[in-house]
Structures are given as C-alpha cells and as structure tokens.
Structure 1
C-alpha cells in the first residue's frame, strides 16, 4: 500500500491516542474492583473487629470539690457553696507491652481479609502521690472510688476474660472505661486504695486481642517499651514513632519501640483531652504495625497500566523499524490489532491476579500476549524468524516492566535507563537511514 511517511506516523499517533480509551476503561475497572474488595474487607471487619488501639492503663480518681463563695443580694451577704465534679488522671511511671501476634485469612468469595490475634502482656508501675497530689484546700475534696481504665478501640476483639494483678492482688476487669472521651474498653475499681499516703502500684495483665488491619499502642508511660513479634513478613510500621529495633524475614518480624514523656508530651495531650474533649493529639501519639499487604494486586495492576502508553509506543516503534529497514508494509489495522492485544494484557492481568496472585498472573498474561502477537506477526512480517525476534523483544519488554513494578525504590532510575537504552538502539539501527528518501518515497 502506498502511504507517505508523514501519513503513516500520523496514523500511528492516532491509534496510540485511540487506545487510551480501553486503557482508561481498564484503569477504572481496577479502581472499581479495589473498592469492592475494600468494602468486603470492611464487612468482614464489621462481623469480627476493626483495627485496634490500646490506650492505657490510666489511674482515674473521681472527685467532688466544694467551692464556697460570698454573695450580696438585697443588702444581705451570704455564703453559697457549689459542688464541682471531675477526674484526676495519673499516667504510669513505666509501661511495658510484650506481644506475639498470629495472622489468619478470612475469605468471602474471591476476596480475603487478614485478621490478627495478638497475645499481649502489659505491665508496669504507678507512683501515686499522697492525697492524690492535692496540696490546697484538701477538706473541700471528696474522692470517690478510684479505678484503672484501659481503652480498647473495638471491645469485640477482646478474646478472653481479663484480670489485673495489682501489688500481688488479683482483681477482675469490668466492662466500660467509665470515661466518655476514652471510648470503649475495660476498668477495675480499686476499693482498697484511699490515696492518703504515697503509694507504688505494680500492675500486670494479659490482653488477648483480635483485630483487622492494624494494631496501635499509645505509649502512656513516663518510660514506655513495646515489643511485638508476628508471623507476618510484610509489616508496615505506622504511627508517630518508628521502632528502635526491628527484624523482618520470610518467617515474620519482631520490633521494639522505646518512648518517654520527653518525646510524647503525653501529659499535656491527656490534660487537653480531659478538659476540652479534644483528643486528637492523644490519639495521634501512637505507634504500631499494619498487617495489610502494602502493595496488593490492585496497586500493582494500577502501577502497571501507568506504563501502558509507553509500552504500546515502544511496540509500534519496533513495527515502524521493520517497515523502514526491511521495506515491509504494515497496515494501520494490523497496528490496531497488536495494540488491542497489548491493552487486553492489563485486563487479563487484573482478572487472573484476583485468583492466582500477581506474579503468576503476570507471567501467564505476558506469555499469552507474546505468543498471540508472535503468531500473528509471523504472517504480517512474512517470516517466522522475524516474528520470533519481535516476540523475544516483546518478552524482554514485559520482563523489564515487571522489574520496574518490583523495584519500588529504583523504578525511576530503571525506567530512565531503559528509555535511554531503547533510544540508543533506535539511533544505532537508523544511523545510515536516509529519512528524506523514506519520506519522499513509498513504504513498500
């Protein structure tokens, strides 16, 4: 067919733009499937328990304070007494948590949610000042029964009964924290504690907790140490503080956090939360771990389709090289069919990755596309050897794309080197080509 070079280049460019339509549709489908998966995970969490946050223990002392004031009315002066109520809060001197978590998968259809079961041992010490730290007008105070409260963001995840060991005495936890701002959790009344003398309270309890997604801990101690290990090999450490020590391998991970009041400023955050009900700062001073796969098949498929336009342009460039170097004629419809096969690769990748995993799905999809395009080109290029060479080049491109997707930190560097190398190959192959004669003549 007789076509000028400019018309052929224009037709190729138009086809590339036209192929954006199916690529955008597949990209939207990836987002829809991801949203559907997230809703299923949310439903599973709704039926079991959501992400968990452990806040506490806190020593809480309810009080009533009588405030007297003199008033003058109608020439008479009299004394009025009002009673105000509130809470005194004491954070632990030391807070230690040792946890061991196991993960499991819960399935609904083709979608899965990862739950964790964490066995936590929490221990430490309170130092309670005499008279609960009240130094003025002690007679105006009336103290009710103090209690220790532990906040658990989703109490449905508490798997076993709880008991507190306090100075060698065993006390049973009761439901609820008794504090509206702390949310759900448990508490222990301390009937025997009067607070008149300075007291040291050594506490310890076991907390077996189930959750979905993430486990957060608020470092409530003046000195806080948290050690956590699990059989999950892809942890994502979240929150305001990274682990001081961590080890991650194929069998799981172990991590250790260390924090103090100097780094958390938790006393001010607690005071603001209790007095004004603004607890965002307190909730934000957490650290923990996410048991969610940081790069799932949907994210990888979305990243892969971002390279689709470049991938198609490189394949069409290879076609064009065959045309100008081997004096072949490739019809725009043939370009379009090969482009459609390249676009359908991403649909195959998405659908298979939901059942086989991303790595296997990528290999199967890439192999299917390379074989189909190779078979088709053996007739288009009128040579099985030429088609085989082109298919090998296409397979190398798919392998390089997989390398780009796997190398998160070096993806930009690898992509830049790949483009530079391909440009170099194109320039070397066309270094002796007379482009004026190609443009003025006809592509045979």
Structure 2
C-alpha cells in the first residue's frame, strides 16, 4: 500500500482516538447533570410527597387471650401452671375490593428542573365477610375481643388531600391517623361498631381518598376478588408491579387501564399470615401493581444515547473527507480533520446545555443546525468548492436527522442503528469499488489508478 496512505490513515485514527477525551468528559458531565436533576427531584418529592402505595384496607380485631404456661419455682424447682394474658390481632381481608381512580398530573419546577406530581381521586369500596366467632375454633372462651377497626396503609401520608370519612353499613365514621398495625407502616384507621362474634356478619364499606404523589402510584389487590380502574391525562404510562392490566387504552390525551385479580393469583391470605411473624411483611406488600408517571426518554437519556454515536459520527465525517481526498484528488490537512472533529464533539455539549432550557427537540435542531452551518462554511473552503461543501453539509444534516430518529425510538433504536451502519458501509464500498488502493496518493492533481467518472 502507498506509504502516504498508510501514514494518513494512521493520523486519522490517532485523531479519532484523541477526540475520545472531550467526548468522555462530556459524557461525564451528562451523568453529573442527571445526578443533580435527580437530587432536585428528590428534594421536590421530599417537600411534597414521594411515590404512593395503598396497602389495604384490612379489618383488625384486637384481642386478649388467657393462656396457661408452665413455670418453675426457684426454691425447689417444682413446675406449676400460671395463667397469663396474651395480646394479639386478628386480620381480615375483604371479600371484594374495588378502586376507581382518576389521576391528573402537573409539573413542579425548581430552577431549571421539573418534577411530575400526580393527584389521584380514588373511590375505594368493597365488602368484608367476618366469620362466626371471628374464625376462632379453639378455646373461644379464653378470648376477650376489643373494638375492631378498619386500617389502610399509605406509604406517604403527607399526600392525603381530603378529610377521610368511612361509610360502613349505612354509618359514617371519621378516619384517624396511624394504622395501629406496626408492620403496615404509615396510614389511617377508622373505628368500627362492636360486632357480634356469635354470628357471621357482612360489612359493606366505601370512602373517597384524594392522594398526591410523585413518580408512582401502586395498589395492593387485597380482596378475594379485586378490580382496579385507573385513568389519567398522562400519555406515557409505564405499568409496573406483579400484574399487568387486563385491558388498557393509551392515546395522546392519556390512558385508561383495568386490573382484575383473585386470591388464586395473589395468594395474599398466606402472605398475610406470615406478617404476624415478621415486622417488615415485605412479601405481602410486594404483590402490588400500578403505574409510573415518568418521561419514557428524557433529555439526559437522549443526550447519553446521542454521545454513544459520537465516535461513529466522527468516523463517518472523516471517511467523507477521505473519500474527497481519494476521489477528487484533494489534500486535507490533519489540522482540518481535527477542527471538524472538535466541532462535532462540541455538538453534544451544546445539545446538553440547550436541552435543559429549551427541550430536547428544539435543542437538537439548534445544535445540529449550528454545527452543520459551521462545518459547511469551513468545508467549502477546505474542499475549494461551494458545491462540494454544500453536498457535504447536506450529507451531515441527513446523518443528524437519522440520529434524531434513533434517539426518539424506544423499541427500534438497535434495529435502526444496525440498518444505518449497514447502509453506510454499503455506500462506501460502492463508491470505492474500482479504487486501486495501492496507487492512491494525496498530491493534488496527481492521476489516480482508476477512472473517477466510473464511480461518480
């Protein structure tokens, strides 16, 4: 191979590697700005309310039980029976649980950063079936039952926006703070009328809950049969948790989703039984589902995606210069390669800084236009031809357009990127198919070892 060609390719490769330094610095800046944004969003949530999860409602029946335990006297070591009192709680899940939620989202800003909050108007209703003798089949006479109450776990009670009132069997009862159940965490409870343990009773309940949160809204399907309906004005829902919606509809104006579960799929009765043995009760709370109100692809993720294509962009631009050198018998100095590469690298810094203020789409348009105009103006003089410079600029603008399509695609980015690379490689091979690489030189005006007209 021509020695000058080998040296030129080596210099180009070294320039590409050198440009990795500013690109890595910009990539680190993207991570830094994203972490700063996440910190601000956490502060906004801390001053309002975090993600929300509803655990319940449950009916709790406190009790005291007389138990007989063996004790040993210290004096003579004799064993004897002593009666002691043991406190506990009986827990009951609803036979039927239903939640109908209508959600509105809004933006809260702090500086240049914005957090998306939601306000959920929920109607929660259902029915409890309390068994005869509270399901106690052994030593019932040893139990003393206290006043039962309905409890609801709410992961961040600061988000409650209305006065809660429980309607139960034609009666209205005010809720009080606290769940009165340690492992359930934060929440509210409402005292119930004393029940007759000697007979089975059905309790129909309902209440309205207006809840504010940030990020996610999740529901625990506590009923033997559970139905949940959520509708919101957010067009980019991410459905999360252990169960996907049975039906859903997503439009530009928002979404609507319905879930339906039963004890056969959730096995919550068994999980609830384990809650008495541990304080955290993570197994019970983990069987939830819901929706996340987040941007599917924000400006930092798109900027991070874009910079992953930076090396490809620089290589393709340098390849374009190289083609002009070998096909048009022009000499491009390595300094000119470096200046164009620096302009391509600064595109990502412009994109990052502008997207924080103008939104990603407009920032991308302005940054790409600035780089195309600057490089186009410079290339017109480097190639000594306005026509060639405009053609090079048009190709660069097309590449920026293709990159934007890659960044906007959530599911097809890999496919589109693979097809783009394959197409560009094919075009390069077609243009150089008759080129005699051993005879390539870089002196202007020097004849090449093929007919240029055949590849144009």
Calculate the TM-score normalised by the size of structure 1. Answer: 0.97
1:7 aligns to what? 7
Paired with 2:92 and 2:250, the residues of 1 have a C-alpha distance of 36
> 3-state SS of the aligned residue for 2:422?
helix
Over aligned residues, Cα RMSD in angstroms? 1.4
Q: Is the 8 A contact 1:298 1:350 kept in 2?
A: yes
1:3-28 Cα deviation digits (max 9, x unpaired): 80011100100011011111111111
Higher mean alpha-carbon deviation, 42-51 vs 183-192, is at 183-192
Whether contact under 8 Å (1:103, 1:114) holds in the other structure is: yes
Closer/same/farther in 2, CA of residues 432 and 280 from structure 1, 3 Å limit: same
How many pairs are equivalent?
441
Q: 1:180 to 1:443 in 2, by over 3 A?
A: farther
1: CA distance between counterparts of 2:169 and 2:362?
57
Residues 360-416 of structure 1, C-alpha deviations (whole Å, 9 max, x = no match)? 111111111111000000000000000000001001111111111122222222112
Q: Deviations over 1:200-243 (max 9, x none)?
A: 00000000001111101000000010001011111111111111
C-alpha spacing 1:376/1:274, structure 2 compared with 1 (3 Å): same
1:101 lines up with 2:111 in the alignment = no
Aligned to 1:247: 249
Partner residue, 1:324:
326
* Kept in 2: contact 1:3–1:442 (CA 8 A): no
Q: 1:363 and 1:94, CA in 2 relative to 1: closer, same or farther beyond 3 A?
A: same
Structure 2 equivalent of residue 344 of structure 1: 346
Which has the higher mean CA deviation after the structures are superposed, 70-79 or 391-400? Answer: 70-79
CA gap 1:101/1:75 in 2 versus in 1, 3 angstroms = closer
CA distance in 2 between counterparts of 1:122 and 1:32 reads 42
Q: Equivalents in 2 of 1:77, 1:254: separation in Å?
A: 66
CA distance in 1 between partners of 2:53 and 2:418 (Å) = 43
- Whole-Å Cα distance in 2 between the matches of residues 253 and 309 of structure 1? 39
SS at match of 2:162: coil
The answer to whether 1:19 aligns with 2:19 is yes
Shift of 1:283: 1.8
Alpha-carbon offset, residue 266 of structure 1: 0.8
Measure the CA separation in 2 of the matches of 1:75 and 1:18: 86
What are the within-5 Å matches in structure 2 for residues 5-404 of structure 1?
5-70=5-70, 73=73, 74=76, 78-404=80-406
Deviation at 1:106, TM superposition (A): 0.6
Does the 8 Å CA contact 1:233/1:251 hold for their aligned counterparts? yes
Secondary structure at the aligned position of 1:320 is classed as helix
Secondary structure, in 3 states, of the residue corresponding to 2:240? strand
Taking structure 1 as reference, are residues 362 and 3 closer, same or farther at Cα in structure 2, changes over 3 Å only? farther
- Superposition deviation, residue 443 in structure 1: 3.9
Contact 1:341/1:373, CA 8 A, preserved across alignment: yes
Name whichever of 276-285 and 244-253 sits farther off: 276-285
- How many Å separate the matches in 2 of 1:443 and 1:283? 74
Per-residue CA deviations over 1:406-433 (Å, capped at 9, x if unaligned) read 2222222211211111111111111111
- CA deviation digits over 1:127-170, x for unaligned, max 9? 00011100110111111111110011111100010000001110
8 Å CA contact retained: 2:236, 2:296: yes
- 1-structure distance, mates of 2:70, 2:372: 93
- The alignment partner of 1:4 has SS state of helix
CA gap 1:305/1:79 in 2 versus in 1, 3 angstroms: same
Q: Please give the alpha-carbon distance, in whole angstroms, between the structure 1 residues aligned to 2:41 and 2:196.
A: 48
Contact map agreement 2:330 2:443 (CA 8 A) in 1 = yes
Partner Cα distance (1:374, 1:314) in 2:
15
Indicate the SS of the match to 1:275: coil
Residue aligned with 2:206, SS: strand
Cα deviation for residue 75 of structure 1 reads 7.5
3-state SS in 1 of match to 2:158? helix
Q: 2:148·2:194 contact (CA, 8 Å) conserved in 1?
A: no
Could you say which residue in structure 1 is the equivalent of 2:410? 408
Distance in 2, matches of 1:83 and 1:386, equals 95
CA distance in 1, matches of 2:278, 2:388: 75
Corresponding residue for residue 453 of structure 2: none
Quote the Cα distance in structure 1 between the aligned partners of 2:359 and 2:196: 61
Q: Could you tell me how far apart the structure 2 residues matched to 1:316 and 1:140 are?
A: 88
Residues 201 and 422 of structure 1, relative CA distance in 2, 3 Å threshold: same
2:447 aligns with: none
**3-state SS in 1 of match to 2:109:** strand
CA distance in 2, matches of 1:274, 1:341: 64
- Residue 184 of structure 2 aligns to a residue in which SS? coil
Distance 1:76 1:388 in 2: 105
